A and B are shown apart, each in its own frame.
Chain A
Amino acid sequence: MRILLLEDDKQLGPWVSGGLREEGHVVDHFEDGKDALMAAMGQEYDLLILDRMVPGLDGLAVLKSLRASKDTTPALFLTAQGEVAARDEGFSAGGDDYLTKPFAFVELSARVNALGRRRDGSENSEAAATTLQYADLSLDLLARRCERQGQPIELMAKEFKLLEYFMRRPGRLVTRTMLLEQVWDMSFDPTTSVVETHISRLRTKIDKPFEEALLSTRRGEGYVFGR
């Protein structure tokens, strides 16, 4: 992916751009909002990663200008402002995701990949599907039914939502924070092991009785669904 990074911090900027390059992305790193806006107008990017507070134009203003000129490139805000209001501001300016500092690199990487895939349009076709299928596991979204190898599996509402979220992102890293935000609508860490417990329950139902496990844990990073 070709990524534009706007981050003025001398330590974080190189860390993020270095990490993303290591993952095979092409990164243009800017420290000034105006430079970033000029670059984004001049060429096509797959993703914008914008810090909210930078010299020149701030990230919010950059994205507003781009959206005003009908640029729909997905954008991820990085910010030190963890407040919900600031988050909403980012979304209303046309941001697609929001990551609060400090963050783990895997968190950023997972979100970057999620936004990149969205750009492909692959997710749109999936969203329209009424049944999700992966290997021998199927999830009927209309009938709210789950089957593996033809055997029906009883899922609680949250487990169903959790599995749906995973099945829409096969092979991709999903972090705990992403699950809390997307499945539970919690923008805070409930400190209790909500995610771990529900993943474990889900596993007991969809993986334990069968030979092949589909849901795997990546220690300290998150979860991956798929072979």
Chain B
Amino acid sequence: MVAKLFKSVGWLRRSSMLRLSLLLSGIFAVGMAIAIFVAITLGQSAIERRVDTSLTALAGATILAEVTGDSPSMIMRGTAKLQGLPRPFSRAVDRGGGTIELDDDFLRSDIWRVLVTRDSNGQEVMVAVPLEESEQAQELLAGVLWTTTLVVILITIVLGLIAGLLAQRRLVRVRETLERLAGGDLAARTGHARSRDDLDDIAGQVDQTAQELEKLVAQTRHLSASLAHDLRTPLARLRSRLEMLPQGEARSDALEEANRMAGIFDTIMRVARIEAGQGREGFENVSLRELIEELEETFGPVVEDEGKTLKATISEAGTVVADRPMLVQAMANLIQNALVHGGDEITLIAKGRSIGVADNGRGVDPADYAEIVKPMVRLDSARSTEGTGLGLALVRAVTARHGAQHSLAPLNAKAAPAGLRVLLNFANL
């Protein structure tokens, strides 16, 4: 659950659309903050200038004696008579005027504009008006601006998220297509939406590449088929000529070589064919127990005649959907390998959904495991023995064809002859 959540957050973190919208929102927020600050500052000083002008005019026109005093809308006193007013007023008078902020409300307002000017009699007076209303207007303005900013940012992020989700869905389709292609399904296409954006271009290019790939593989297959024809026919001619020769050792040796050549070619074709194979045609339910028992019966006497023993260990063997002849061939190759390169005890294994062959020979250096399954690779130690180096390549092709896993491991890592165990695991089917 947590892992799943983390995974979904993972794609969010990687979504370029969302990243872009977050970045833009950030830039927008900073820009808006600066704009609001500047607007409020400029607005404030504009208001202050207007208030000052009005106050100066008011002070000059008013008869001091009548109007001097405090009221909620204006305070006007001689600069020498500031008793009873909070201290910021006298400090403002000392500065020659300005805007003051009080800790507590005084006459219903805590912000006042103070101006020192002269009245109509030429007396120096302090005129102060509350700025409460203009401050409220400023706060309202700032509030509106901030709310707008927030809404815009939210919309941007939501749009980014939606765009990210949409892009993500298309990207997932591209990725899935690529995965299917890598898995050998060359018919996979993104089916791009033709919305003419950059993502669509990529999807289109993936489709085009896949189409090219499919064509190339088809050509290669066709090439193999014609290669088979082109090489088999001369080989058949060669063979027919050899058969026309008088009986003798040279003739049978030559025929044997021709047969071997045909055999190698057969195997190469077979590996290519299995690797190119698609779909489940020819697949059937195969009981691994019966398969191993039949292999034991078929190959037991062969192994015995070589002076070795073949036994089968079967435990909880299951049933898999597989191409039976292919499995038989893969197992036959493994038995042949064990017989030629392995020890004198060969074991056929069926366990759960795995089958395999083990032997108690000197085994293979684990560093070489990846190497020996490649076509035509033969380790130096095996050069003296007969073989084509195609055995394990075929095993690998068969397991890949079934979506199964093959694994190589020492039979007994601690013992001196480590042995080798090759398993084909169909657990994922």
Task: Write out, one digit per residue, whether chain B residues 257-286 have a CB within 8 A of any chain A CB (1) or not (0).
Answer: 010001100110110010000000010000
**Quick check: B228 and A80 within 8 Å, CB to CB?**
yes
Offer 27 A-B interface pairs, CB within 8 angstroms, sorted by A.
Answer: A9-B236, A11-B241, A12-B237, A12-B240, A53-B229, A80-B228, A80-B231, A81-B229, A82-B266, A83-B269, A102-B238, A102-B262, A156-B297, A158-B298, A185-B325, A186-B325, A187-B325, A188-B270, A190-B332, A191-B263, A191-B336, A192-B335, A193-B305, A197-B301, A197-B302, A198-B301, A220-B252
A100 to B228 alpha-carbon distance, docked (Å): 11
Within 8 A of A (CB), among B396-426: none
Q: Name B's A-contacting residues (CB within 8 A).
A: 225, 228-233, 235-241, 243-244, 252, 255, 258, 262-263, 266-267, 269-270, 273, 282, 297-299, 301-302, 305, 325, 328-329, 332, 335-336, 339
**Quick check: B273 and A192 within 8 Å, CB to CB?**
no
Pick from B263, B270, B328: contact of A186, CB under 8 Å: B328
Closest Cβ of chain B: how far from A16's Cβ, in Å? Answer: 8
Pick from A9, A81, A100, A156: contact of B225, CB under 8 Å: A81
- A104 interfacial by beta-carbon distance below 8 Å: yes
**Quick check: B235 and A101 within 8 Å, CB to CB?**
yes
A193 to B339 alpha-carbon distance, docked (Å): 11
Q: Interface size (A, Cβ < 8 Å)?
A: 37
A193 to B298 alpha-carbon distance, docked (Å): 10
Closest Cβ of chain B: how far from A8's Cβ, in Å? Answer: 10
Interface centre among B237, B255, B282 (most CB of A within 10 A): B237
Contacts of A53 in B (CB 8 A): 229
Known: A81-B229, A186-B332. 12 other contacts (CB 8 A): A9-B237, A11-B240, A82-B270, A83-B225, A103-B236, A105-B243, A187-B325, A188-B270, A190-B332, A192-B302, A193-B302, A220-B252
Name the prevailing secondary structure of the B interface residues: helix
Contacts of A200 in B (CB 8 A): 305
Pick from A11, A104, A184: contact of B298, CB under 8 Å: A184
Contacts of B269 in A (CB 8 A): 82-83
**Quick check: B233 and A9 within 8 Å, CB to CB?**
yes
**Quick check: B299 and A85 within 8 Å, CB to CB?**
no
**Quick check: A189 and B266 within 8 Å, CB to CB?**
yes
**Quick check: A188 and B297 within 8 Å, CB to CB?**
no
A84 to B270 alpha-carbon distance, docked (Å): 9
Contacts of A85 in B (CB 8 A): 273
- A157 interfacial by beta-carbon distance below 8 Å: yes
Contacts of A12 in B (CB 8 A): 233, 236-237, 240
Q: Tell me the nearest residue of chain B to A183, going by C-beta.
A: B298
Pick from A82, A103, A184: contact of B239, CB under 8 Å: A103
A15 to B239 alpha-carbon distance, docked (Å): 11
Contacts of B329 in A (CB 8 A): 186, 188, 190
Closest Cβ of chain B: how far from A78's Cβ, in Å? Answer: 9
Contacts of B231 in A (CB 8 A): 80
